[in-house]
Structure 1
């Protein structure tokens, strides 16, 4: 009796086509799902971007329409002008020089600031620069930044400011507007002599400057300088040597009383002022 030959069959081998098919189908399904999700996400992003662009266009259009509406309306016309920062300048004249009219548009002057700045600073030496602001849609505010005042020079009509950049103020002001903390230059009929004394004054220590009440140009010699101090004393010096001799002044002033002349022009000595000198310096 012959033995039947038994052939072994691997079940996995017989089922592998089916298993592979099922696996491939799952992969295809997942791939389709991924593609579908990607397309859906892309569609959503495009839709969101479209709405953003549309919103931006609408927003810009609304702002442009509102801006144009404001510009052509009477609300954009200059209603009032306010000047801040310089009380000695004539307001009407400043406005006229700036060429600002009630029919002008506020926004035009905001963008024309450099032109206004140039017009005003060219005419008024007091003005360093200006800043323009708008309040309540159509109220124009000119904020004036002025040069620092270091003293005053007296002339026949009143007093003019001596400004930090070396120029004189354009306005003549009364004694009531002169700051008592600043020195007054008197007897300077020529601007050259004033500039020379001013140069000397600026070179002196601040501690000494603050003690000076008056500088007199009525001197015997061009090289001579005369200071009336706030404590009632008078200091006489030489333009070229005064700065180096101030150390003697500090020693002398502690030993003398009021209404004393301290002479630092040649040497360094002091004496009481005569009655005529007191009258000449306004100390009586």
Structure 2
């Protein structure tokens, strides 16, 4: 073996050893661990709630987070069903940003003293809420899953200005009209409608309400007309 070949092999060995030493030193130092965690994109969830679900802490290896990001994402979505997707980004090789996309909340149901969120993928979350924040409608008397799914889809398609005004949606079916619903609005008006046509008619609500001199009832079952609460109609 030539001296040149031996010199090359010796240099290569020294290089490999140096890489191993540097790697071990890095993983044994604080530089390899997550320093600060920032959560972006949360709406109904809390930032700390997301961090806890990922099991990432300032003791976690940053490189380990990225190697395991798919499994961390899957585990987080199982713990927090309202999470649609989750991804990770690093800054300064130590700070971690968790980007979250949530399923939109389409309202809540009230049962046995607790509120339960209904999210955009049709699920009713099992988390019990004594109270809630956000401008979401409360659904009552929709005892069948199919009925609840239908009315939440209708609500989702309403114009934003109308959605923000909806307070409660009640199943008010009768023998005469099994499709009847009642809607309480935040502005004080009440709506009587048919679930089969309400999605097309609710867009007219702002115009009808603006012409009312007093708060009252807007009937959208057949046609569209309104009358004040003190009217015996």
Same fold (TM over 0.5): yes
Give the aligned partner of residue 200 of structure 1. Answer: 154
Q: Which range moved further: 121-130 or 97-106?
A: 97-106
With over 3 angstroms needed to count, the CA separation of the structure-2 counterparts of 1:139 and 1:208, relative to structure 1, is closer
Change (3 A) 1:120 1:193: same
Shift of 1:118: 0.7
Give 1:147's aligned residue: 103
Asked whether 1:178 is paired with 2:141, we answer no
1:161 maps to: 117
Q: Which has the higher strand share?
A: 2
Contact 1:75 1:138 in 2 (8 A): no
Partners of 1:269 and 1:92 lie apart in 2 by 47
CA distance in 2, matches of 1:75, 1:248: 61
Q: How does 1:263-278 map to 2 (within 5 A)?
A: 263-273=219-229
Give runs of aligned pairs for residues 1-284 of structure 1, distance below 5 A.
65-71=21-27, 73=28, 75=30, 82=37, 84-85=39-40, 86=42, 88=45, 91=48, 95=52, 98=54, 105-133=61-89, 142-175=98-131, 177-180=132-135, 182-220=136-174, 221-246=177-202, 249-250=205-206, 252-273=208-229
The two structures have a TM-score, normalised by structure 1, of 0.59
Deviation of residue 234 (structure 1)? 0.6
8 Å contact 1:125–1:170 — kept in the other structure?
A: no
Stretch deviating more after TM superposition (150-159 or 81-90) = 81-90
The answer on whether the counterparts of 1:225 and 1:239 sit within 8 Å (CA) in structure 2 is: yes
Which structure ranks higher in relative contact order (CA pairs < 8 Å, sequence separation ≥ 6)?
A: 2
Q: Is the 8 A contact 2:192 2:218 kept in 1?
A: yes
Q: Which runs of 5+ in 2 are unaligned?
A: 1-10
Distance 1:211 1:146 in 2: 22
Q: What is the TM-score normalised by the length of structure 2? A: 0.70
- Tell me: CA distance 1:135–1:90, structure 2 relative to 1, closer, same or farther (3 Å): closer
In the TM superposition, structure 1's runs of 4+ consecutive aligned residues that sit over 6 Å from their partners are 55-61, 135-139
Q: How many residues align?
A: 218
1:20-45 CA deviation, whole Å, 9 max, x = no partner? Answer: xxxxxxxxxxxxxxxxxxxxxxxxxx
Structure 1 unpaired stretches of 5+: 1-54, 276-284
